Structure 1
Amino acid sequence: MIRRLSTKLLNVCVSSLCKSRNLDKAEAVIIDGIRLGCLPDVVTYNTLIDAYCHLVGVDEAYVILYRMREAGVRPDVITYNSLIAGATRCCLPSRSLDLFEEMLQAGLVPDDWSYNTLMHCLFKCGYPEDAYKIYLDMLSKNVAPSLTTYNTLINGMCKTGNAMNGLRLFRNLKRLGFSAELVTYNTIINGLCKSGRIGEARRILKELGESDCVPNEITYTTVMKCCFRNGRFEQGFEIFSGMMNKGYTSDVFAYCAAISALIKMGNLEDANACVEQMLRNGIGLDKACYNTIIYLQCKEGKIDYAFQLVNEMEEAGLGSDQYTYSILIDGLCRMGYIDSANKQLHMMEMRGFLSNLVAYNCLIDGLCKLGEVDLALKLFHEMKSKDDYTYTSIVNGLCQKSRFHAASKLLLNCLKEGSSVLTSTHRAVIAGLQSAGFRRDAKRLKASLRVASLLRY
């Protein structure tokens, strides 16, 4: 009895140390316990394995299996479930399958958690068909699926682009008396939204409102953001209004989505009103929210207030990120303050933000609109990576200066690199060459564009 209590105390100590991420001390406690005659059991080792999987890695956790066997402690299903979960976190599907097979060979019977974790791993790593085979294997072994099993299947189908299959499974389960939880509804709504099936998502949202489950902020925000992304602003604002009427007035993500949509629509007055309402509700601003409000101020030409907000964000301990700098650079360029925009770009680079394609694009576009095409070209050649927007801006800038041969050459280089520019830009270059008397060059460019179009499709 004393020994059993001592082992229980040992396990409590090891668990506490693992939770506080002190693995060395946990190991030391186990060694001291053995020295004092308090032998660790399977719970001790399982606790240690789970901690190693979370904090170090599945390989280091697997080494503990050898120590277990040397101590005469037989691994159980929980041991292997922890290892499979560790392999899942590292996106190692083959390792998860090997561990599952090893568990079977050891004579251990997998439980629903074993199957759920393995299915989640295969879905997560892009193997939906293999994941579904595991589910069928689970049924053939008479392991009863749990609510987590069905949520794993629906979530996996939605995240691998099979939202309609997830919806069909959801419908079938409901007909069989499956009592869906809120997390299930949120999963299927999110999957339908990401696949662009807004109508289906709104129907599920209506069903959710008629069920025993109560929609939360995540539910409403998911559908609302989907409506905004697809240009269905009226529907999106209906959902936002319904969300506010139900008392969900503290969701910063919903406010940010609504403010961004209003800015996109050009309705800056209502965007400002939405900001004021959000602040009145006492919502603490995060970095994304600050960036949204800074963008709004830049759109209104209130660049001084935008910088004031940046300082406020810095003082609140929320450091500026690459989006903050890109917004400021875009705002400065729109107002013609190119030197200030350039300084912000250099400051951005000094702070280690290397992924600044958007910032470069804003500066190039600003220079071209001011007629400083040579400066834009210099910046263009300094860029390590370019996208369609970069090429479109610089080609349009050259056309505005009637430098149609240079624009044509750049357009052909763009095609060789696999990028593309707007069709209107193609027409501008061709029309410019023709009007300048270079009809043969215009004809050659037209043929090259046609061939590139055929190769792409």
Structure 2
Amino acid sequence: MSLLRKLPIRFLNPQSALRLRFFSAQTAEKHAFPDVPTSAYYDERINAAGRDGDLETIRKLLNKRIADGCFNTNNTFKFLTRTDTSLSILDDLFKTLGRLDRGLPRKQAYDALIARLCKIKRVEDSLRLVDAMARGNDGLNAVTFHPILSALTHDKKMEEAWRVIEQMRELKVSPDLTAYNYLLTANCFNGNLTAASEVLEKIEENQLGFDARTYDALVMGACKEGKVEGALMLVRRMLEDGQSPLYCTYAHVISALLRLDYCAQAVKFVMVCGNRDHKLDTESFGCLASRLIGMRKFDEAKFVLEEMNKRGLEMYGSKLKDFYESNVRNAKLNSS
């Protein structure tokens, strides 16, 4: 009896012992590495460690994920938010990244953290990381600066964005077309065509050419100024250059034409530009038909929907489907 009294209670209770073994097994299974880890798996583990303030685990996971071919994503540092509690770990996290394996593990982690900091409006902190990358010769390139320029131009901080461009040059990093496109798009969106022209001069001066984003920004700027003919010329040049238009590029032109009540010209535009990309046709024809119905231009809307049916383009949303059934399909059945 004296021996039994000295034993912990759980050894006298078989059910308690079973529960202990079960939960221990669950915990071990939860933290065991899968045979084929994924980026999502690593993100989950890193975010859990980040919420616990476990920087050493974060360091190990950031190194191991690259060795496993699981690159960082937009979710890697999601444990960082705008709260003071979350951001209190920031300085120590910076030091942790500086101790990662040189090469891709460190470069990838820096880029991912910079993107996250810009997402939560901590651009100044992201620029501190840029300085650290420059000092450590850790693969600083134009891609590193993209989220910074995106955040600044989105918030209309154009002077700060230009200072970042200058900082890139000082660090021997050549701004690429994507970097300039952020400034170009922001200026065109804000209707500042003089500033947009200055950006274009830089693009041409550095012989960077135009891509779909460049053309989209220019088309948007022309449409905002009511210069639809100029926008149409840009679309024509874009197609001649072999660039695939973005969905929004055609939407800019359609909206500009409809604002001027040029419904027939809008219909002609999507017809002429069609038959190049099935998905793009689906978006542009559908966008035009929906806008025409909203404007109560029913005859034009019927024509566009008939064309969509002929071309095998799917009609998304009940608005288009119901209108087609009521005003096009049923009308044909009743007339036959």
Q: Same fold, TM exceeding 0.5?
A: yes
* Aligned residue in 2 for 1:17: 38
CA deviation string 1:224-268 (max 9, x = no partner): 233223433343222112123556586333223322343355432
Counterpart CA distance in 2 for 1:162 and 1:234 is 30
In 1, are the aligned partners of 2:73 and 2:112 still within 8 Å (CA)?
Answer: yes
CA deviation string 1:416-449 (max 9, x = no partner): xxxxxxxxxxxxxxxxxxxxxxxxxxxxxxxxxx
Counterpart CA distance in 2 for 1:149 and 1:13 is 39
- 2:185 alignment partner, one of 142, 155, 158: 155
- 2:229 alignment partner, one of 192, 199, 205: 199
Please show how residues 96-111 of structure 1 align to structure 2 within 5 Å.
96-104=126-134, 110-111=140-141
- 2:272 alignment partner, one of 221, 239, 242: 242
AA in 2 matched with 1:291: K
Counterpart CA distance in 1 for 2:302 and 2:35 is 53
* Aligned residue in 2 for 1:5: none
| RMSD, matched Cα | 4.3
In 2, are the aligned partners of 1:49 and 1:83 still within 8 Å (CA)?
Answer: no
* Aligned residue in 1 for 2:301: 271
In 1, are the aligned partners of 2:72 and 2:109 still within 8 Å (CA)?
Answer: yes
In 1, are the aligned partners of 2:270 and 2:284 still within 8 Å (CA)?
Answer: yes
Which moved further from structure 2: 156-165 or 77-86?
156-165
In 2, are the aligned partners of 1:224 and 1:236 still within 8 Å (CA)?
Answer: yes
Please show how residues 362-401 of structure 1 align to structure 2 within 5 Å.
none
Counterpart CA distance in 2 for 1:260 and 1:237 is 12
Which moved further from structure 2: 82-91 or 108-117?
108-117
1:192 Cα deviation (Å)?
3.4
Counterpart CA distance in 2 for 1:175 and 1:65 is 37
Report which structure shows greater RCO (CA 8 Å, sep ≥6).
2
Distance 1:294-1:82 versus aligned 2 partners, 3 A rule: same
* Aligned residue in 2 for 1:260: 290
Distance 1:207-1:261 versus aligned 2 partners, 3 A rule: same
* Aligned residue in 2 for 1:113: 143
Please show how residues 310-325 of structure 1 align to structure 2 within 5 Å.
none
1:178 Cα deviation (Å)?
2.9
1:22 Cα deviation (Å)?
6.1
Number of residue pairs matched?
A: 279
CA deviation string 1:350-396 (max 9, x = no partner): xxxxxxxxxxxxxxxxxxxxxxxxxxxxxxxxxxxxxxxxxxxxxxx
AA in 2 matched with 1:88: C
Counterpart CA distance in 2 for 1:64 and 1:249 is 43
Gaps in structure 2 of 5+ consecutive residues:
1-32, 50-55, 331-336
CA deviation string 1:60-93 (max 9, x = no partner): 8956555556x77578443322111112223333
Distance 1:107-1:257 versus aligned 2 partners, 3 A rule: closer
Helix, strand or coil at the partner of 1:251: helix
AA in 1 matched with 2:199: L
1:53 Cα deviation (Å)?
3.9
AA in 2 matched with 1:143: V
1:108 Cα deviation (Å)?
5.3
Q: State yes or no: 1:57 paired with 2:80.
A: yes
Please show how residues 157-306 of structure 1 align to structure 2 within 5 Å.
157-170=187-200, 173-174=203-204, 177-215=207-245, 218-244=248-274, 246=276, 248=278, 251-263=281-293, 266-287=296-317, 290-292=318-320, 294=322
Distance 1:159-1:13 versus aligned 2 partners, 3 A rule: farther
In 2, are the aligned partners of 1:182 and 1:214 still within 8 Å (CA)?
Answer: yes
Distance 1:128-1:160 versus aligned 2 partners, 3 A rule: farther
Counterpart CA distance in 1 for 2:128 and 2:259 is 42
Counterpart CA distance in 1 for 2:149 and 2:158 is 8
CA deviation string 1:250-303 (max 9, x = no partner): 63332233223433554323322432332443433333xx235557889x8xxx
In 1, are the aligned partners of 2:212 and 2:244 still within 8 Å (CA)?
Answer: yes
CA deviation string 1:24-70 (max 9, x = no partner): 39989xxxxx99xxx9486437768646546443658956555556x
Distance 1:14-1:86 versus aligned 2 partners, 3 A rule: farther
- 2:176 alignment partner, one of 130, 146, 154: 146
Gaps in structure 1 of 5+ consecutive residues:
1-11, 29-33, 306-457
Distance 1:209-1:167 versus aligned 2 partners, 3 A rule: farther
CA deviation string 1:320-371 (max 9, x = no partner): xxxxxxxxxxxxxxxxxxxxxxxxxxxxxxxxxxxxxxxxxxxxxxxxxxxx
Q: State yes or no: 1:44 paired with 2:64.
A: yes
1:132 Cα deviation (Å)?
0.9
TM-score (norm 1): 0.49
Counterpart CA distance in 2 for 1:194 and 1:45 is 46
In 1, are the aligned partners of 2:46 and 2:77 still within 8 Å (CA)?
Answer: no
AA in 1 matched with 2:64: T
1:122 Cα deviation (Å)?
1.0
In 2, are the aligned partners of 1:49 and 1:64 still within 8 Å (CA)?
Answer: no
Counterpart CA distance in 1 for 2:232 and 2:158 is 26
AA in 2 matched with 1:18: S
TM-score (norm 2): 0.64
Distance 1:124-1:91 versus aligned 2 partners, 3 A rule: farther
